[in-house]
């Protein structure tokens, strides 16, 4: 087929590609028609020699031909040199001429013309034939092309058909696959569903069993509160049959609309189960108290499906509890009354035993009487515990609101406990936090009771070592402070498995403890209860053989005078001191206190190293300003050490020495003899410590005074033991209406370390005094004031004092003796004698005249507060 | 008037003394107004009271001139002779203005 095509192409292009062949076929055509004529075709581009002669178309003719397109087709006639006629007929399509040479014989024009016509016709014929041939060839080509295209399209069609068929086959195959899979899947899922369904049935069966078995009444409701399901217990509690309640509104149980017990109305937290105690009615009208739990049920999309509620009938339980509580309360009440009633005769027993002991008794009798007294005291403390305990149980313990100084209280407790460890080698230390407020408001008695109890415990269970009472502030709000007391001992400790039970009433760590150490086991329980009344806690950390730490926290009110205690450090800053004690804790505490005053402190536990240390510091030109020495130390005691230091051979022999001794062992005379300048008792109060140090340093500063002291070295060992009243800063009530005078007095007294409260007139003064009669040490009273003048106020105060004595009311504040009367000092601008007399008449003790002079004020304070005993 | 000296006499810091002076002037101004209205209404007892109070405060602060004038007013009131009291009050006012100026410096 391909070969065929090639032939056809050859045929098509034959006549075109070969102009020579065409020319020849034209020549043969004309030669055949006119045999006598000689023909030749000559190309324009390549003129050829014609009949041995170079043919040159006459230029003229040629130009004409070129210029006149009309004549272009015209034949050119010319005569050959031989005389023969010749014609050149233009062959435009060949870009050539046809030369015709007629024989010489036929020179007749007519013949030649007719011959020329024949020649022209032949030429036309030839070209017409040629055109036809071209057309034919073209159509032939077209046909062949179309045939080819058709063929191609046919093939394509065939291919598409084939593709379609294949695609159809694939789809068919896939379809059959899918359908097979589908069938399989349906079968599988059906099977699974069937299994799940079985499981569900089983579960539901199981759940129904659980529901019916539950000892709790359970029912479910739809969102409209209609009961949808109940269990057997529900029926047995309420007496309703299942069919009686299903479909009914759940309020049929209440008889009235559920207000606050409806889970739909009162449930706002999504997390907690709704819990409520409420009352329902059984079928027979009995009122039941139930505790119900309820929770709402949602489907996965969060739509509310209803709620499930369960309840327990606690009617009987509540009745039982109420009666038990009542019985317990009655018991506590009885105990309280009883112990109170027993206390009175017990006090008489102890009191008369005391009197008995003062009479002349022989040794045995005294011993018996002493035993009676001791047992009586034990019994009394036991009674007190029981009384407290039953008071707390009966909910009768109410806390008082008194302003007190927690630091003072802590030291008081330490001093109170000291006699209990008299025979044992124990140090009692007290550590007060820097930020402890100087005044708090709360039940100081109960606070003290807890501390005494815990300290007493520590003293009881510790045979040697130390007991440290630490007191600090732990937390603070706008109105409250949280105090934290820690009582740390080096006693026997408590086994871990007993730690939890020691706070239970009538429980001690071990029954054998009771036998060995005595006690009721009520103390800690009382502490716990008191602490919880104060919104705090009591807990313990302990290790057997190492000791225990009891913690006590309590929230107390803030006093208006809430400031942290400020001490006057005076000349103490940057002074150097050496502290010697074998007890590291005591060293730490003293060092901390004195460092806070800006002092440089060195501590030593080993007395032997003291003289070398002093020598070294003396040599270095930076000697110590004073030493604090503990009296009870191993190897070398404080007295011996002081004597060593005072050896006149030492360059430092005149260094001031302060002795530290426990309260019971203090021996002022021996201290003086050993060369001490001052004596402090343990536990050391910050205030006393600073006062003593200040005094020592001040004495040293003024050289003249020092030489006097050195001369007749008469120290008053009690110079640093401050009267009981001064353990807290003296508190003054100023009654004065003029704000200028108020402010002046405030500044003067505060600067001198007094606490001051101001009343603007007599009435306010009485109110303040009545609210806390023991809170003040002295009253400064202006005479002329609006509302109530000073005379009347003084008279009223005396009346109040007298009344409280007559009523036999105990003094409100510890340390305030009955019949005590507060010094009232008049302040007057008048110097007239009758005014003074009027003051004394009104019950005042003294007077000062304005203007207020500082020295005068301090003299008065000294007279009426500091030396109260002397002035009486 | 020497602030420093007056403060020292009282055993106070200068600043504390100035604070007291300010307070004195603050309260004194209203006291003085009360005093004046009491004088105008011829209420001798009230006059005596107010003058007494002012006298005390002035004495405490060492303000001798005010102290003296206040004392005079008090005596006038006791004698029920208030004719010159208004003049005395004006003098106190002047004195107070003087103190204000000094303390502000």
**For residue A850, which residues of chain B lie inside 8 Å, CB to CB?**
56, 59-60
User: The dihedral of CA B26, B32, B35, B41: what is its sign?
Assistant: negative
Please check whether residue A783 is in contact with residue A789, taking contact to mean a CB–CB distance below 8 angstroms: yes
- Concatenate the DSSP letters of all residues of A232-266 into one string: HHHHHHH---HHHHTTSBGGGGTSS--STT-HHHH
Query: What are residue A731's DSSP bridge partners?
Result: A755
Predicted pLDDT at A551 = 95
Please check whether residue A351 is in contact with residue A343, taking contact to mean a CB–CB distance below 8 angstroms: no
Of the candidates A741, A749, A730, the one whose C-alpha atom is nearest the C-alpha of residue A858 is: A749
- A173 contact B CB<8A: no
For the stretch A592-639, pLDDT in tens is 989 888 889 999 998 889 999 999 988 888 889 899 999 888 888 899
- Concatenate the DSSP letters of all residues of A159-213 into one string: HHHHHHHHHHHHHHHHHHHHHHHHHHHHHHHHHHHHHHHHHHHHHHHHHHHHHHH
CA of A830, closest CA in chain B: separation in Å?
9
Predicted pLDDT at A855 = 73
- The span from the CA of A770 to the CA of A797, in Å, is 8
For the stretch A310-337, pLDDT in tens is 888 888 888 898 898 888 878 877 877 7
DSSP A582: S
The ipTM assigned to this model is 0.79
Nearest CA in chain A to B21: A740
The structural domains of chain B, with segments of one domain joined by +, span 3-103
pLDDT at position A647 over 80: yes
Predicted pLDDT at A271 = 55
Q: Do A744 and B62 touch (CB under 8 A)?
A: no
For the stretch A246-267, pLDDT in tens is 888 888 887 777 766 677 776 5
- The span from the CA of A426 to the CA of A670, in Å, is 22
Q: What angle do CA A166, A172, A178 make, to 5 degrees?
A: 135
Query: Averaged over A6-35, what is the pLDDT?
Result: 70
Question: What are A35's two structure tokens?
Answer: 């045999």
Nearest CA in chain B to A738: B53
Euclidean distance between the first and the last CA atom of chain B, given in angstroms as a whole number: 12
Query: Averaged over A103-125, what is the pLDDT?
Result: 79
Give the DSSP H or E segment for A148: helix A109-213
- Concatenate the DSSP letters of all residues of A504-521 into one string: STT--S-HHHHHHH---S
Predicted pLDDT at A270 = 57
Query: What are residue A465's DSSP bridge partners?
Result: A426
pLDDT at position A529 over 60: yes
Nearest CA in chain A to B55: A829
Predicted pLDDT at A535 = 92
pLDDT: which is higher, A195 or A728: A195
Predicted pLDDT at A489 = 92
- The span from the CA of A115 to the CA of A31, in Å, is 11
For the stretch A754-769, pLDDT in tens is 788 888 888 888 888 8
pLDDT at position A721 over 50: no
Architecture of the domain defined by B3-103: Up-down Bundle (1.20)
Please check whether residue A593 is in contact with residue A689, taking contact to mean a CB–CB distance below 8 angstroms: yes
Give the DSSP H or E segment for A591: helix A584-596
Query: Averaged over A496-515, what is the pLDDT?
Result: 69
Q: Which residue of A735, A742, A744, A751 is the best one to mutate when testing the B interface, meaning the one whose CB has the most B CBs within 10 A? A: A744
- pTM for this entry: 0.43
Predicted pLDDT at A193 = 93
Q: Do B56 and A748 touch (CB under 8 A)?
A: no
- The span from the CA of A528 to the CA of A393, in Å, is 12
Q: Do B59 and A829 touch (CB under 8 A)?
A: yes
User: The dihedral of CA A452, A458, A462, A466: what is its sign?
Assistant: negative
Choice among A289-293, A393-397, A484-488 with the minimum mean pLDDT:
A393-397
pLDDT at position A55 over 60: no
Mean pLDDT of chain A: 79
Return averaged pLDDT per consecutive 10 residues of chain B, 105 residues in all: 76 82 86 87 86 85 86 86 84 86 73
- Highest average pLDDT, of A425-439, A567-581, A739-753, comes from A425-439
Q: Kindly state the percentage of chain A with pLDDT values over 90.
A: 15
Helix axes of B44-61 and B14-40: crossing angle, nearest 10 degrees: 170
Q: Per-residue confidence at A831, pLDDT binned at 50, 70, 90?
A: low
Helix segments in A18-68, DSSP class H: 19-33, 59-67
Q: Which residues contact A466 (CB under 8 A, 6 or more apart)?
A: A426, A427, A428, A429, A489, A490, A583, A585, A586
């Amino acid at each position: 087929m391909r070969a065929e095509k090639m032939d056809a192409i050859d045929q098509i292009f034959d006549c075109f590609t070969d102009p020579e062949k065409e020319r020849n076929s034209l020549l043969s055509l004309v030669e055949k028609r006119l045999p006598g004529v000689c023909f030749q075709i000559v190309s324009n581009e390549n003129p050829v020699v014609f009949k041995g002669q170079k043919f040159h178309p006459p230029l003229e003719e040629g130009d004409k031909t070129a210029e006149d397109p009309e004549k272009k087709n015209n034949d050119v006639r010319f005569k050959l040199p031989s005389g023969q006629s010749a014609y050149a007929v233009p062959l435009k399509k060949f870009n050539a001429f046809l030369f015709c040479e007629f024989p010489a014989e036929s020179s007749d024009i007519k013949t030649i013309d007719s011959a020329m016509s024949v020649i022209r016709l032949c030429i036309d014929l030839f070209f017409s034939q040629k055109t036809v041939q071209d057309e034919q060839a073209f159509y032939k080509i077209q046909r062949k092309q179309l045939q080819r295209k058709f063929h191609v399209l046919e093939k394509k069609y065939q291919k598409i058909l084939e593709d379609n068929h294949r695609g159809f086959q694939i789809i068919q195959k896939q379809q059959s696959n899918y359908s097979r899979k589908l069938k399989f899947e349906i079968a599988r899922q059906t099977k699974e569903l069937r299994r799940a369904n079985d499981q569900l049935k089983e579960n539901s069966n199981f759940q129904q069993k659980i529901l019916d078995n539950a000892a709790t009444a359970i029912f479910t409701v739809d969102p409209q509160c209609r009961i949808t399901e109940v269990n057997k217990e529900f029926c047995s509690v309420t007496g309703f049959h299942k069919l009686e309640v299903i479909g009914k509104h759940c309020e049929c149980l209440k008889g009235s609309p559920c207000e606050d017990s409806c889970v739909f109305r009162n449930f706002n937290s999504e997390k907690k189960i709704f819990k409520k105690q409420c009352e329902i009615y059984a079928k027979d009208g009995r009122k039941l108290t139930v505790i119900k739990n309820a929770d709402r049920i949602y489907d996965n999309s969060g739509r509310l499906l209803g709620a499930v509620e369960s309840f327990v009938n606690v009617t009987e339980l509540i009745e039982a509890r109420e009666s038990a509580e009542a019985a317990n309360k009655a018991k506590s009440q009885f105990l309280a009354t009883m112990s109170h009633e027993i206390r009175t005769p017990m006090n008489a027993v102890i009191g008369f035993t005391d009197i008995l002991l003062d009479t002349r008794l022989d040794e045995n009798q005294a011993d018996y009487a002493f035993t009676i007294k001791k047992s009586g005291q034990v019994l009394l403390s036991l009674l007190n515990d029981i009384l407290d305990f039953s008071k707390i149980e009966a909910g009768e313990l109410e806390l008082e609101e008194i302003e007190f100084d927690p630091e003072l209280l802590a030291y008081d407790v330490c001093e109170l406990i000291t006699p209990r460890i008299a025979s044992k080698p124990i140090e009692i230390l007290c550590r007060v936090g820097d930020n402890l407020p100087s005044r708090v408001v709360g039940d100081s008695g109960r606070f003290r009771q807890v501390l005494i109890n815990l300290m007493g415990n520590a003293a009881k269970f510790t045979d040697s070592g130390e007991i440290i009472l630490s007191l600090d502030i732990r937390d603070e709000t706008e109105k409250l402070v949280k105090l934290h007391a820690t009582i740390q001992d080096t006693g026997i400790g408590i086994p871990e498995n007993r730690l939890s039970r020691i706070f239970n009433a009538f429980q001690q760590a071990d029954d054998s403890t009771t036998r060995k150490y005595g006690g009721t086991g009520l103390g800690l329980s009382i502490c716990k209860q008191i602490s919880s009344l104060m919104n705090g806690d009591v807990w313990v950390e302990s290790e057997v053989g190492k000791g225990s730490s009891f913690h006590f926290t309590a929230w107390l009110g803030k006093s208006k005078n809430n400031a942290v205690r400020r001490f006057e450090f005076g000349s103490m800053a940057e002074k150097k001191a050496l502290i010697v004690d074998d007890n590291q804790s005591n060293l730490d505490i003293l060092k901390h206190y004195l460092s806070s005053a800006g002092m440089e402190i060195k501590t030593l536990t080993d007395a032997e190293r003291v003289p070398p240390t002093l020598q070294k510091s003396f040599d270095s030109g930076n000697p110590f300003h004073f030493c604090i020495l503990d009296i009870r130390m191993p190897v070398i005691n404080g007295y011996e050490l002081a004597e060593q230091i005072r050896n006149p051979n030492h360059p430092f022999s005149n260094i001031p020495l302060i002795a530290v001794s426990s309260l019971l062992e203090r021996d002022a005379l021996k201290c003086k003899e050993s060369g001490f300048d001052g004596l402090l008792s343990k536990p050391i109060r910050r205030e006393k410590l600073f006062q003593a140090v200040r005094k020592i340093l001040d004495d040293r500063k003024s050289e003249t005074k020092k030489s006097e002291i050195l001369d007749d070295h008469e120290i008053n060992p009690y110079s640093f033991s401050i009267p009981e009243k001064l353990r807290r800063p003296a508190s003054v009530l100023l009654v004065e209406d003029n704000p200028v005078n108020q402010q002046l007095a405030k500044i003067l007294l505060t600067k001198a370390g007094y606490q001051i409260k101001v009343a603007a007139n007599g009435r306010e003064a009485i109110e303040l005094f009545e609210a806390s009669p023991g809170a003040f040490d002295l009253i400064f009273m202006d005479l002329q004031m609006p509302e109530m003048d000073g005379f009347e106020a003084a008279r009223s105060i005396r009346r109040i004092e007298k009344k409280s004595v007559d009523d036999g009311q105990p003094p409100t504040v510890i340390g305030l003796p009955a019949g005590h009367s507060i010094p009232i000092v008049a302040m007057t601008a008048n110097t007239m004698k009758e005014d003074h007399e009027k003051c004394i008449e009104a019950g005042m003790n003294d007077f000062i005249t304005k203007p207020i002079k500082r020295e005068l004020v301090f003299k008065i304070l000294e007279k009426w507060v500091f030396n109260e005993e002397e002035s009486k | 008037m020497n602030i420093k000296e007056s403060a020292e006499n009282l055993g106070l810091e200068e600043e504390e003394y100035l604070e007291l002076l300010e307070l004195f002037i603050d309260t004194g101004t209203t006291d003085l107004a009360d005093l004046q209205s009491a004088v105008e209404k011829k209420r001798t007892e009230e006059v005596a009271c107010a003058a007494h109070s002012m006298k005390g405060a002035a004495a405490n602060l060492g303000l001798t001139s005010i102290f003296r004038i206040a004392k005079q007013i008090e005596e006038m009131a006791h004698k029920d002779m208030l004719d010159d009291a208004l003049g005395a009050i004006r003098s106190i006012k002047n004195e107070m203005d003087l103190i204000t100026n000094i303390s502000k410096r």
